[in-house]
Copies of this chain bind each other. A is one copy, B any other.
Amino acid sequence: MTDNFDLNHWCDLHLARVEQALDNWVSVDASVDQGHAAPAELMQAMRYAVLDGGKRLRPLLVFAAFEAVSSASTPARVPAATDAAEAALRAACAVELIHAYSLVHDDMPCMDNDVLRRGKPTVHVQFGSASALLAGDALQALAFELLTPDASVVPEGRQARLCRLLARAAGCSGMAGGQAIDLASVGRVLTEEQLRQMHQLKTGALLQASVMMGAACGDASAQAGQALQAYGAAIGLAFQVVDDILDVTADSATLGKTAGKDQAQEKPTYVSLMGLESARRYAQTLYDQAMAALAFSGLPNTRALQGLASLVVQRSN
């Protein structure tokens, strides 16, 4: 079962699921099902921000963690349509909506003022700043809508736990808090500890929550839960270290966004703090920590989680 695991195939299967689900749920039709039709212009901006782009790392982490705690599933097979699998699909889309909204707001003129994202004009360039602001706001709310369908679809206890994990990861003690620290740190010298704290909130919290939400859709033991939390923390930080490395080593075309941005804005990064080679070694150390956590988890089926950890460290964009 594990010897012939094909990560690319696994990713393709799950990416197809999440793309299809996002296409269905971020739509005027879905909003009509909720009672009131969302205005078409707003939905257009929301769909532009979410569909047809992005690596979908967070949804893949949800699926991989869910698979790890679901003994019945096999690595290369889409889980059966149980309410747990439905919850995982909704969790996968919800974390991606939070990620997408944060990019929309982050790109706005009053923040990073960026015009290019995933090789396309940013949302505010395409639709105007007011629409970008509202689209981001609505995407955040939609994430929580997806997590709270009727009780017949997903048991309400599971809904509450997923909302709890996502809200904490997105808010002032998570992603939004990290962005505020980032904003305040431009042009300042940070210690490695301060830099780590900023990234733990800004990027790490949501990546870690993706893992924990996937686990919350199944039944993880306390030991497995702790191990997955450690795994999530390590790859969350590794992701940011690699981001900082790519900002100085890759070009804009490869990245799909403006390269060299951190340097130009005098933002503190792992590269500016420890140098390129040390940053690379640090990313490898974090990868090793993630692997060790999986080994400690006692879970038999962590191939997808292992594969995603290498993707995070080896990615080129």
Contact = CB atoms under 8 A, between A and B. Distances in A.
Interface of A: 31, 34-39, 41-43, 46, 101-102, 105, 108-111, 128-134, 136-138, 140-142, 144-145, 147-149, 151, 156-157, 159-161, 163-164, 166-168, 170-174, 176-177, 179-181, 183-184, 200-201, 205
A125 B142 CA distance: 29
A31 B176 CA distance: 12
Nearest to A201: B36
B167 A156 contact: no
Contacts of A128: 110
A138 B172 contact: yes
One complex includes copies of this chain to the number of: 2
Contacts of A163: 144, 147-148, 159-160, 163
A144 B184 CA distance: 26
A39 B130 contact: no
26 contacts: A34-B168, A36-B173, A36-B174, A36-B201, A38-B172, A38-B173, A39-B181, A39-B184, A41-B184, A42-B176, A42-B177, A102-B137, A108-B110, A110-B128, A110-B130, A111-B130, A111-B133, A134-B183, A137-B137, A138-B171, A138-B176, A141-B174, A148-B161, A148-B167, A149-B164, A151-B160
A42 B202 CA distance: 13
Contacts of A183: 130-131, 134
A148 B163 CA distance: 7
